[in-house]
Amino acid sequence: MRVRARALLIGFICCVSVPSTHIDARADPRNAAILLDSWWSGDYARKSCEQANSFMDDDTMSRIRNFGCGAVAGCPEAMAHLSACTSGDPRLLASQFEDRLMTQLATSPDCKGVAFARYYGPDAKEPSAAEQALMSRPHWEFSVDFFAGSRTQSWSLQYLGEEKVFQGESATEARMASDLCAIVLGQRATPAR
């Protein structure tokens, strides 16, 4: 009888402890909200254009004139970058890219259920009530290392307060939106490439 009582007691304890472990594992779901750091993107774009301008010093320009762009390491990419940088304000180019990305986030079926907003920096206009609500709760922090004239844009995504950072490169705004939403909604751990 003692053996049977112990078996019943052990079985009862296992049944009681398993459900609470299962509940605890799902008790803290991540908020499906993305905050795009536009302040970062604009500054990154400006600084990368400053670097592109410094690449084209007199010596480099002389080598390109004398031997062609193919004879200078990194010249084709640098020329595309420099051309894009001189076509307009780098911060405006980054902002236009983000506008197209925000449209993709809003319209992509892959992003259904994801909220998103932009952070323009401490000196920008006051955020809307919806933006303030998103920023006041736990959310995903997202930044683009905008590089004018590049075929792809690098990005990083991190859930507020966590150490793990997701990073990727996307050739289009639609692909970037799809990659971000897949991570935020837990459909895959890293972007498929």
Rounded Cα gap, residues 186 and 161, in angstroms: 17
CA quadruple 62, 63, 69, 72: dihedral, nearest 10: -140
Residue range 170-188, pLDDT digits in tens? 999 999 999 999 999 987 5
Phi, psi of 112 (to 5 degrees): -60, 125
Interval 76-122: pLDDT, tens:
777 777 888 888 899 999 999 999 999 999 999 999 999 999 999 88
Q: What angle do CA 36, 98, 53 make, to 5 degrees?
A: 105
Over the Cα atoms of the chain, what is R_g? 24
Report how far residue 98's alpha carbon sits from residue 177's, in angstroms, rounded to the nearest whole number.
11
pTM of the model: 0.73
How far is residue 104 from each of residues 29, 49, 100, measured CA to CA in Å?
25, 26, 6
pLDDT of 8 higher than 50: no
Cα gap 54→151, rounded to integer Å: 21
The pLDDT of residue 13: 37
Residue whose token pair is 């930044």: 143
Which tens digit of pLDDT belongs to each residue from 140-171?
999 999 999 889 999 999 998 889 999 999 99
Domain boundaries, the chain: 33-46+89-184
